[in-house]
Amino acid sequence: MPAACSRPVRSLRLPVCCLIALCALVSNSPAIAQDKNLLDLEKFELKFGFIKLTDCAPIVIAKEKGFFEEEGLQVEVIAQPNWKTLLDNVISGELDGAHMLSGQPIAATIGFGTKAHVITAYTMDLNGNGITVSNTIWERMQENDPDLLASQPQHPISADSLKPVVEELLDEGEKLQMGMVFPVSTHNYELRYWLAASGIHPGMYTKSDIGGRTDADVELSVTPPPMMPATLEAGNIQGYCVGEPWNQQAVAKGIGVPVTTNYDVWKNNPEKVFGVTKQWADENPQTHLAVIKALIMAGQWLDETDDNGKLVNREEAARILSRSDYVGADFDVIRNSMTGFFYFQQTDKREMPDFNVFFKHDCTYPWYSDGVWFLTQMRRWGQITEPKPDAWYHETAKKVYQPEIYLEAARMLVDEGLLDEDKVPWDTDGYKQPTDEFIDGITYDGKKPLEYLKAHQIGNKD
Amino acid sequence: MAYLELDNVDFGFGPVSHRYEVFERASLAVEQNEFVAVIGFSGSGKSTLVSLLAGLLKPDRGQVHINGKVVAAPGPDKGVVFQNYSLLPWLSVYGNIELAVKQVFPSMKRGERRDYIQHYIDMVSLRGSEWKLPGELSGGMRQRLSLARTLSMKPEVLLLDEPLSALDALTRSQLQDEIIRIWEEDRRTVLMITNDVDEAVIMADRIVPLTMGPAAHLGREFPVTLPRPRDRATLNFNPEFKELRNEVTRYMMNLNEEAKSLTRSVTLPLPDLQPVLPGPRVRVG
Amino acid sequence: MLGLWIILILACLVGAAAWAGKHRTVKAIDVAGLNFLTPIVRLCYGEEPEKQLKDIGRFIVVPVIAILLFLGAWHVVSEKIQTKSGKLPNPRDTLHAAKAINDFHYRENDKQAAFNLNGEERAQELERVEQRLEELKPLEAEVNKNVAAAKEAAKERLATKVAPLQEELDTLTAKFKDAKKQRDDELASLASQAAVGDEDAKNAFVGKVRAYRQLASDERDRLRDLRTEINDMRAEKDPEEQRALAEQTAIAEERQYLGKMQDQLTDSNRYEKVDEENAKLQEARETLYAADSATILKAATKVAQTEDRIDRIEESGYAKPATLPYQVKRSVLCVFVGFLIGSAIAIPLGVLCGLSKTFMAAMTPFIAIFKPVSPIVWLPIALIVASAFIPDPDKHWFTQWLWELPLLGEYKINPAFIASAVTVALCSLWATMVNTAFGVAAVDKDHINVARVLRLGFWSRLFKIVLPSALPLAFAGLRISLGVGWMVLIAAELLSSSEGIGKYIWDQFNNGASDSFANMVFVVFVVGIIGLVLDRMMIVFQRLVSFDGAPTAI
């Protein structure tokens, strides 16, 4: 068990507990008291929902590796058919919490789609998505840019070579159809960002057009993640943006080619969050803390490395995720991205150590600046129909993102000796440093959302 | 005044435009304790007659009286044995009788009721088949059960609607004897419908032919004065029996001739049946 | 295994025949709708052996041969059908899938049991688990080696297969590139001539350009075809490699299971946790007894908290994921709940329709409009309504009450379940309603006359004459309803993601793993067999209430 080696407390506990188990009958000696500060839980049997994607890993790992149990929680982890049902189930109370798209708590809170106050105190991962196009589109892109014919083309691949294809289709009176997973998903915004960065208009949302196709050069439609390969194969869409393993699945089945990952669109972009309703969090504050503690532990476990920087637990995580009641895809397929590799084509395997980030880069901290970025995208593409002042962006982000809970949970873990003091950004104001690591090089400063909106060519600028 | 009386009754089916008059001024009187056989061709309204007497149908004009009272609705005092038994196929022999007994004698105690029902089952020689369903019984057994059910209601009047017509000849004569035997016990008023002259002569005190429809009425009466018990074996050589039988048959044949001339003008399609009658074959309609 | 079952069934049959007598056994078989067994019973009594053997041949041997032929054909066909999602699973793969599903079920049961084990049993179980873990280590190393070797071999095989094509591709690419360059040069030189020439020359030049464009396009197509061929070759899964991977998966899954078992038997074990808490309680008590007025409140709270926690742990259970047997049971429960709701609506309405022509006239438009509505339409509506009535299942009194019920509690009836059941009810009630109405309306006139002669009141007439007489038709309707309900349920569960067979299928489809296809095919049989059992059950009921001896089954 490689997991145990690097965690002193746990590595001791296992044999000790075995010993106790054997001695339990002989002597009535009390178990060795732990430092674990068990919370006064309001509720200890929980149900969490997830979508079959590798980035549900923190929840699954927290269950399978016993982090939830250590907090005194018994958690059932239930696959949901699509993001809409997942959100509805959380709001209705059928689920206590879920693996959510970053945009979902924000959109629910501002009332785009189902209205409910949903909050998050834990970001589950960074990156992890890819944009895949069908073989035919890939060939046409190759025709437009012969450099792509190389067995390992130069990355990042922008949508420039896709633009002529889109234009040709438009001339024929057709629009390229692409899939994304949910109107407020990271995927929607990333795909739009990628297309718009090359001057392809992905369409605007308006009051009357909630499909987001007004003025579109490329039509985007919603397809649940696990359905993406099948929908692509059926020819309903010619490309999609989705999380893993559904890009690797396309490669494994030979039905499409991932052209880029969201790492190239925006380096270390926030991806999923762990969302609960405000009401639930208010009613079960201690339980919420316990859950966040377990998730932080799971995140830390997932990103554990040996001295050479190799991710030591990912292989096991991939094995767990490949169980049919979790993600269920083939182990080999899940392993690619989870262990830091990504197949762009059968012949194009690349190392991508940061393809999935679950803990490092202060990933799990719920940054206000992430919330603001999603809000700017919602405004950019018209999901927020009215222009808003800067202050509104900050207020809204603060309504949804709850770093106080995260920090409280982290503090407990530090006190229990399970987490290093320096792994948590204690003193941050919740805004990441401005960054220009986008595919189009535009700088994003979470404190100045309106300035950021103005910097783009396509989309609302106020 | 007779015990059971059909007084100038009119009865018809169908809408005014093509109404079919079954009876016109039909009258019949049956004395108490009398066994009357009504004999008629198929389609002459025999079953309708039973229904009228039982109160299942209401006459258009005229009245039916029992014991001086007008019959307004059917009831257990007018026991009917239906032509096709009308047994409830989901109830056993016992259950069929029990249904009637429970309804007619609600105050009867459990044990008493069991004995009572068993008595009637024994009476029609169905002992041993108490728990069989009607579907498992032969035709004769079913008719006996139907009879037992009706008798168990202790009706004032017993109306038998061609009770034996669906049975084979052997079973038929056996059951004829049985009905007579049971009837002899308390001699209730009986009106039996039949299409068999022999049967009528053997069983009844009086035979009343029903004229051919439409607008049938009851014809000339033939009293049967043969002494009881009538023994089937010797009866065939009895001249009185032979005479009566021939007379009734002849009368019936004449009725048929008459009916032919009558029905010519009527367009109502009658069933293409050829009743098997003693003597030469006659085409109907 | 199968042979054992056959022998067992035959033994039961012979035993029953010997005990109950021939006629009763034959009748029981007839009622159960298992007429193919009759010749065996008759043969046991030596009745017309030749005829019985012939019947056995026709009703048992022929179907068995048909099944074998089907399996054979399936095996052959499955080898030929290759989609991008994988090969159509053959019977063996399907059986293998069944085994894997079964394993998963038992492993989860083990984990649950381990959570609740204590004392000697726990020590023994732990020993077993650890022993097996030890055994597994060399095996794991071996399969890992095998996989590596198989992958290497597959890669080599692929390389040798692809190499000539790749070479051809490379040469062609180079050749075409040269050719294109040559053509471009030619056109460039021709261009200067055409520029000074007349219109004809210019038109001829256009022709030349067009011809060369065509050539370029042809060349591109040729290259694309080659590339596609190579890609297809690469996408093809190597069977050896697949086999090695499957073996590796089996071992890895077992190891995963054993690891979790170990945890369930030690750290996560309920008694272990209680012991742990008890120790803490002890400590807390000591603190409490030693406390002064300043600290006593805190110490007392701590004691109370710990005690509460112990209570909770004692009644807690392992959160077991849904396994197929559980999902099957839940589906069957759901179909029956829906069926009962449907029947509770359909039978009274059907009786009223049958009794009163006026009521029938009032109902006809509704029947006509709602009957053809698809379950897909009902489900979202039912889901919204059910969720509206039960906004928070964790707190709502109705779900709470359901979860406390002794046998139903474990199925966690939630709005999705209710919505699925209601959908089943809405789709299945029509057959029952129409049949009941027909049965009631078609009560024999003579039976009504009997009722009139007996002067039965409305209720006794209804219950003693009308309903019994309508029963066979009503049951025929119920049988159709249950069949329809079962079909509808799978779709409803699939959409509402109510835990059940439908959801299982959907999850498998979504998984898209190499064994998902086989799992789905296996579930097809599960669904079919349950449908068959439900239908047979209804046949038995139908036979029991049918008095007319009408044939009810095929």
- Judge whether C124 is closer than 8 Å to chain A, CB to CB: no
d(C-alpha A190, C-alpha A195), whole Å: 8
With CA atoms as reference, the chain C residue closest to A47 would be C319
User: C529 to chain A nearest CA, in Å?
Assistant: 23
Please answer whether residues A241 and A179 qualify as being in contact, where contact means their C-beta atoms are separated by less than 8 angstroms.
yes
Radius of gyration of chain B (CA): 19
Same domain, B43 and B110: no
DSSP secondary structure of A199-264: T----B--SS-TT--BT-SEEEEE--GGGHHHHHHHTS-SEEEEETTHHHHHHHHTSEEEEEEHHH
- B268 interfaces chain C, CB cutoff of 8 Å: no
Q: With an 8 Å Cβ cutoff, are A226 and C511 in contact?
A: yes
**What's the CA gap between A455 and A453, in Å, rounded?**
5
Higher pLDDT pick, B80 / A353:
B80
The reply to whether C321 touches chain A by the CB within 8 Å rule is: yes
Contact in structure between A201 and A163 (CB atoms under 8 Å): no
If asked whether residues B15 and B127 sit together in one domain, one would say no
A248 — pLDDT class (breaks 50, 70, 90): confident
CA distance to partner chain B, nearest, from residue C540 (Å): 16
Q: How far is CA C544 from CA A71, A358, C547, in A?
A: 57, 63, 8
Task: State phi, psi for B11 to the nearest 5 degrees.
Answer: -155, 135
Q: Which residue type sits at A154?
A: Q
At residue B271 the predicted structure's pLDDT band, cuts being 50, 70 and 90, is low
**C175 touches A at CB < 8 Å:** no
Amino acid present at C506: W
CA distances from B56 to B44, C441, C446, C455 (A): 18, 19, 11, 11
- What pLDDT is stored for residue A12 in this prediction? 46
Q: What angle do CA B185, B188, B189 make, to 5 degrees?
A: 150
Cα–Cα distance list, C294 to A337, C36, C300 (Å): 56, 84, 11
CB pair distance less than 8 Å for A93 and C393: yes
Nearest residue in A to C248, CA atom: A331
With the C-alpha atoms ordered C509, C515, C517, C519, is the resulting torsion angle positive or negative? negative
CA nearest to C413 within chain A: A94
Please check the confidence at residue C273 and state whether its pLDDT lies above 50: yes
Cα separation, A178 vs A191, in Å, equals 9
Which DSSP string corresponds to A407-433?
Answer: HHHHHHHHHTTSS-GGGS-TT--S-PP
Residue to test with chain A: of C177, C267, C314, C410, most A Cβ within 10 A: C267
Do B39 and B161 lie in one domain? The reply is yes
Q: Which residues in chain B are closer than 8 Å to C464, comparing Cβ atoms? A: 88, 99
Question: Average pLDDT, whole number, for chain B?
Answer: 82
The shortest CB-CB distance from C547 to any of B78, B100, B135 is to: B135
End-to-end CA, chain C: 28
Residue B82 shares a structural domain with residue B147 = yes
Q: Which residues contact C244 (CB under 8 A, 6 or more apart)?
A: C143, C146, C147, C149, C150, C151
A45 closest CB neighbour out of C256, C260, C319: C319
Q: In angstroms, what CA-CA distances link C503 with A381, A462, C520? A: 35, 44, 11
Model confidence pLDDT, tens digit, residues A101-110 = 888 898 888 8
B5 shares its domain with B63: yes
Residue C76 at interface with chain A, using a CB cutoff of 8 Å: no
Domain count, chain B: 2
* Most confident stretch, B5-19, B231-245, C426-440: C426-440
Q: With beta carbons less than 8 A apart as the criterion, state whether B101 and B117 touch.
A: yes
Contact C338, C425 (CB under 8 A): yes
Best mutation target among C249, C266, C301, C503 (most A Cβ atoms within 10 Å) is: C266
Residues of chain C by 3-state class (helix, strand, coil), percent to 5 = 85, 0, 15
Are residues B39 and B160 both part of a single domain? yes
Handedness of CA A45, A50, A55, A57 (dihedral sign): positive
Q: Over the stretch C51-78, which tens digit does the pLDDT of each residue have? A: 888 888 888 899 999 999 999 998 888 8
**Which chains border C (3 or more CB–CB pairs < 8 Å)?**
A, B
Mutating which of A11, A12, A17, A326 best tests the C interface, going by the most C Cβ atoms within 10 A? Answer: A17
Does the residue B184 lie in any domain?
no
Question: Is pLDDT at C236 greater than 80 in this prediction?
Answer: no
Of A151-160, A242-251, C429-438, give the range with the top mean pLDDT: C429-438
Q: Distance of alpha carbon B106 from its chain centroid, rounded?
A: 28
Give the Cα separation of B251 and C456 in Å (integer): 42
The neighbours of chain B, by the rule of 3 or more Cβ pairs under 8 Å, are C
User: Quick check: is B266 in a domain?
Assistant: no
Q: Which helix (H) or strand (E) holds A191?
A: helix A186-197
Q: Which helix or strand (DSSP H or E) is residue A12 part of?
A: helix A8-23
8 A C-beta contact, residue C232 and residue A254? yes
A359 Cβ partners below 8 Å, 6+ apart?
A299, A300, A302, A303, A423
- Does B have 3 or more CB contacts under 8 Å with C? yes
- Chains B and C: how many Cβ contacts under 8 Å? 58
Give the CATH number for residue B214: 3.40.50.300
Nearest CB to C123; choose among A22, A135, A254? A22
Residue C455 is which amino acid?
R
Q: What average pLDDT does the structure give for chain C?
A: 84
Of C85, C391, C513, the CB nearest to A328: C513
Chain A residues touching C273 at Cβ < 8 A: 72
Instruction: Flag the least confident range among B180-184, C3-7, C529-533.
Output: C3-7
Contacts (Cβ under 8 Å, ≥6 apart) of C356: none
In whole angstroms, give the CA distance from residue C455 to residue C461: 9
Give per-residue pLDDT as tens, B216-265: 778 788 888 888 778 877 887 888 888 888 888 888 888 777 666 655 44
Mutate to test the interface with B, among C31, C445, C446, C453 (most CBs of B within 10 A): C453
Same domain, B160 and B244: yes
| Structural Rg of chain A based on CA atoms | 22
- How close, in Å, is residue B119 to chain C by CA atoms? 20
CA atoms within 13 A on the CB side of B276: 1
Helix (H, G, I), strand (E, B) or coil at B115: helix
C518: enclosing H helix or E strand: helix C516-545
Residues 212-241 of B with CB under 8 A from C: none
Nearest neighbour of A332 by CB, restricted to C234, C245, C416: C245
- Look at chain A and count its residues: 462
- Gap between the Cα atoms of C469 and C449, Å rounded: 14
Residues A127/C448, Cβ–Cβ less than 8 Å: no
Contact B104 C454 (CB under 8 A): yes
pLDDT of B22 reads: 84
Q: Say whether the C–A interface has 3 or more Cβ pairs within 8 Å.
A: yes
All residues of chain B having their beta carbon less than 8 Å from the beta carbon of residue C23 are none
Q: What is the C-alpha to C-alpha distance for residues C484 and C343, in angstroms, rounded to an integer?
A: 13
Cβ of residue C442 closer than 8 Å to a chain B Cβ: no
Residues C444, B79: C-beta atoms closer than 8 Å: no
pLDDT in tens, C505-534: 888 887 777 778 888 899 999 999 999 999
Tell me the H-state helices in chain B.
46-54, 93-104, 110-123, 139-152, 169-186, 197-203, 232-235, 239-263
Whether pLDDT at A6 is above 60: no
B147 and B132 inside one domain: yes
The answer to whether B159 and B77 are in contact (CB under 8 A) is no
For the segment C539-552, what is each residue's pLDDT rounded down to a tens digit?
888 888 777 654 44
Contact call for B80 and C454, based on CB within 8 A: no
Which residues on chain A are in Cβ contact (under 8 Å) with C514? 330
How many of the other CB atoms lie within 10 Å of CB of C190?
16
Assigned domain for B172 exists = no
Concatenating the DSSP letter of every residue in A132-179 gives: EEEHHHHHHHHHH-GGGGSSS--S---GGGTHHHHHHHHHTT--EEEE
Query: C444: which chain B residues are within 8 Å (Cβ-Cβ)?
Result: 86
Neighbours of C171 (CB within 10 A): 10
Q: Which chains touch A (3 or more CB pairs under 8 A)?
A: C
Interchain contact, C252 vs A331, CB within 8 Å: yes
Chains B and A touch (3+ CB pairs under 8 A): no
- Compute how many other C-beta atoms are within 10 angstroms of the C-beta atom of residue C541: 17
Checking if the pLDDT of A436 tops 60, the result is yes
Are residues B160 and B231 part of one domain? yes
- Quickly list DSSP for A281-343: HHH-HHHHHHHHHHHHHHHHHHT-B-TT--BSSHHHHHHHHTSTTTT-S-HHHHHHHHTTEEE
Confidence of residue C85 (pLDDT cuts 50, 70, 90): low
pLDDT at position A26 over 70: no
Distance CA A127, CA A260 (A): 12
Residue among A66, A88, A249 minimizing CB distance to C512: A249
Question: Does residue A38 surpass a pLDDT of 70?
Answer: no
For residue A99, the cross-strand partners are A274
H/E segment holding residue B62: strand B61-66
Residue from A413, A249, A440 nearest A334 by CA? A249
Q: Are the Cβ atoms of A76 and C319 closer than 8 angstroms?
A: yes
| Calpha distance A18→C262 (Å, rounded) | 9
Say if residue B36 is in the same domain as residue B60: yes
Residue of A nearest to C261 (CA): A64
Model confidence at A11: pLDDT above 50: no
Contact C507 A229 (CB under 8 A): no
If contacts are CB pairs under 8 Å, which of residues 120-159 in chain B contact chain C?
Answer: 133-135, 153
C198–B contact, CB cutoff 8 A = no
Judge whether B261 lies within some domain: no
Render C390-447 in DSSP notation, one character per residue. SS-TTT-HHHHHHHHSTTTGGG---HHHHHHHHHHHHHHHHHHHHHHHHHHHT--HHH
CB contact under 8 A, A79 and C507: yes
CA distance B220 to chain C (A): 30
Give A27's pLDDT tier (boundaries 50, 70, 90): very low
List the single residue in C275, C392, C499 with the smallest CB-CB distance to A31. C275
Dihedral sign (CA A417, A421, A422, A426): positive
What is the structure's pLDDT at C362? 92
B57 lies in some domain: yes
Flag whether B181 is in a domain: no
Domains and CATH numbers, chain A: 2-127+270-320+359-423 (3.40.190.10), 129-267+436-454 (3.40.190.10)
pLDDT at B273: 56
- From the list A410, A24, A7, A65, the residue with the least C-alpha distance to C273 is A24
* B40 and B161 assigned to the same domain: yes
Measured between CB atoms, which of C449, C455, C547 is closest to B89?
A: C547
What is the maximum span of chain A, computed from C-alpha positions, in angstroms? 84
User: What single DSSP character describes residue B228?
Assistant: S
Owner of token pair 């000696």: A29
| CA–CA min distance C112, chain B (Å) | 51
Residue B116 lies in a domain: yes
| Section C104-128 average pLDDT | 85
Q: Residues of C with CB below 8 A from A255's CB? A: 84
- B248 and B198 within one domain: yes
**Domain region containing B53:** 1-72+156-165+189-252
Structural domain includes residue B178: no
The model's confidence at residue C332, banded by pLDDT at 50, 70 and 90, is very high
CB contact under 8 A, C454 and B153: yes
Instruction: Please check the confidence at residue B78 and state whether its pLDDT lies above 70.
Output: yes
